[in-house]
Amino acid sequence: MEADTPADTPTCYRHPSFETHVRCTRCDRRICPDCMREAAVGHQCPECVREGNRSVRQARSLFGGGVPSGTKPLVTYALIALNVLAYVAEVVKPEILDRFGMLGAALTGPAGSQGSLYVYDGWTPPGFETTGVVGGEWYRLLTGAFLHLPPDSSIGVMHLVFNMLALWNLGRDVETQLGKVRYVALYLLSAVGSSVLVYVLAPDTNAVGASGAIFGLAAALYVIGRRLGRDVGSLNRFMAGFLVWMVLSAFFTSWQGHLGGLLTGGLVMYGLAYAPAKLRNGLAQSIAAVVLVVLLVLVVVWKTNALTGG
């Protein structure tokens, strides 16, 4: 047991039983060796160190996102987990694909023919009902991006595997450059933009897969590389590879979705990368995102009116 110190002996403000003659260079309180924290000049107490850390301005990337220091790509992990869980759910309940896939316009058969889909040509016969986005199921514009082709399809589970590998390789770099919030916005906008182009060009197609959002990430990474002055040759080869993938995958999945995601992701990232510095703040970028969402909504409304005759 330590002996009590005399009343007039200088002691640490956190440990009164320890005699000390060292003061915190910020608040001037006495601190013992256990409380000393190295500072640019002298030592500081733990409270002043915490207060100083809170007041330090966070470093930000060129694109307005917070620069993570050794953090894990948590959003990319979460997106991969959501896609895998959705795939497990559709394997257990295959009807999820028909219920939540990106389907623009179709007809469901009359009573007794549940599960049958018929081509919608602008007229709904008696006893039939419209289904898909044209029937008000706007959630399909997003939910379809988290579903994949079932195991009994032409490419089966490889559809999911290839997409998740691409998401893992692309997402980590884009998330590091943009920060979590902007990264999520880019991914979701690319997914919705992908579905909107499917709705415009192939409304009778039931499209599923994260490919549209992934093509958006690819376009974003290309723009990031150009903005940061990375090797142009390697960037062009990288983008050419994705375009070849888009052409080849047209035999198995929706090329319209890939192109829609590519264009949307590239547009969003171009705005983040080349906007004037004063417009790279959170408020201006949020307004731009809202404007893009409104434009996508207007396209969907226009297509719906075109399909239904107004």
Write the DSSP string, 166-195.
HHHHHHHHHHHHH-HHHHHHHHHHHHHHHH
In a domain, 280, yes or no: yes
Give yes or no: residues 2 and 119 share one domain.
Answer: no
In a domain, 10, yes or no: yes
Query: What is residue 140's predicted lDDT score, i.e. its pLDDT?
Result: 96
In a domain, 61, yes or no: no
E strand or H helix at 245: helix 232-248
Give yes or no: residues 106 and 207 share one domain.
Answer: yes
Query: What is residue 248's predicted lDDT score, i.e. its pLDDT?
Result: 77
Give yes or no: residues 84 and 144 share one domain.
Answer: yes
Give the domain-ending residue among 30, 48, 66: 48
Give yes or no: residues 203 and 121 share one domain.
Answer: yes
CATH number of the domain that residue 158 is part of = 1.20.1540.10
Give yes or no: residues 134 and 33 share one domain.
Answer: no
CB burial of 105-131 (b: ≥16 within 10 Å; e: otherwise) equals: bbbbeeeeeeeebeebeeeeeeebebb
Give yes or no: residues 42 and 79 share one domain.
Answer: no
pLDDT by residue for the chain (310 residues), tens only, comes to 444 555 577 888 888 888 888 888 888 888 888 888 887 777 888 888 888 776 555 566 667 666 555 568 899 999 999 999 999 999 999 999 989 999 998 888 765 455 577 777 777 788 788 889 999 999 999 999 999 988 888 787 998 999 999 999 999 989 988 889 999 999 999 999 999 999 999 998 889 999 999 999 999 999 998 888 878 788 788 888 878 877 777 777 788 999 999 999 999 999 888 877 777 677 778 888 899 999 999 999 999 999 888 6
The whole-angstrom separation of Cα 272 and Cα 279 is: 9
Q: Which domain holds residue 25?
A: 1-48
Query: What is residue 2's predicted lDDT score, i.e. its pLDDT?
Result: 46
Q: Count the domains in the chain.
A: 2
In a domain, 310, yes or no: no
In a domain, 176, yes or no: yes
Taking the model in full, what pTM does it have? 0.78
Identify which of 85, 80, 100, 66 has the alpha carbon closest to the alpha carbon of residue 213. 80
Give yes or no: residues 96 and 179 share one domain.
Answer: yes
Query: What is residue 218's predicted lDDT score, i.e. its pLDDT?
Result: 92
Give yes or no: residues 291 and 145 share one domain.
Answer: yes
Give yes or no: residues 98 and 33 share one domain.
Answer: no
Query: What is residue 66's predicted lDDT score, i.e. its pLDDT?
Result: 60
Q: Which residues, in sequence order, are CB contacts of 99 under 8 Å at separation 6+? A: none
The whole-angstrom separation of Cα 247 and Cα 270 is: 24
Give yes or no: residues 206 and 172 share one domain.
Answer: yes
Give yes or no: residues 142 and 237 share one domain.
Answer: yes
In a domain, 134, yes or no: yes
Q: Which residues, in sequence order, are CB contacts of 201 under 8 Å at separation 6+? A: 256
In a domain, 22, yes or no: yes
Identify which of 215, 200, 204 has the alpha carbon closest to the alpha carbon of residue 246. 215
In a domain, 54, yes or no: no
**Tokens describing residue 228:** 């940061």
Give yes or no: residues 39 and 176 share one domain.
Answer: no
**Tokens describing residue 41:** 């000049």
Query: What is residue 1's predicted lDDT score, i.e. its pLDDT?
Result: 41
Burial label for 209, CB within 10 Å (0-12, 13-18, 19+), is buried
Amino acid at position 12, single letter = C
E strand or H helix at 223: helix 211-227
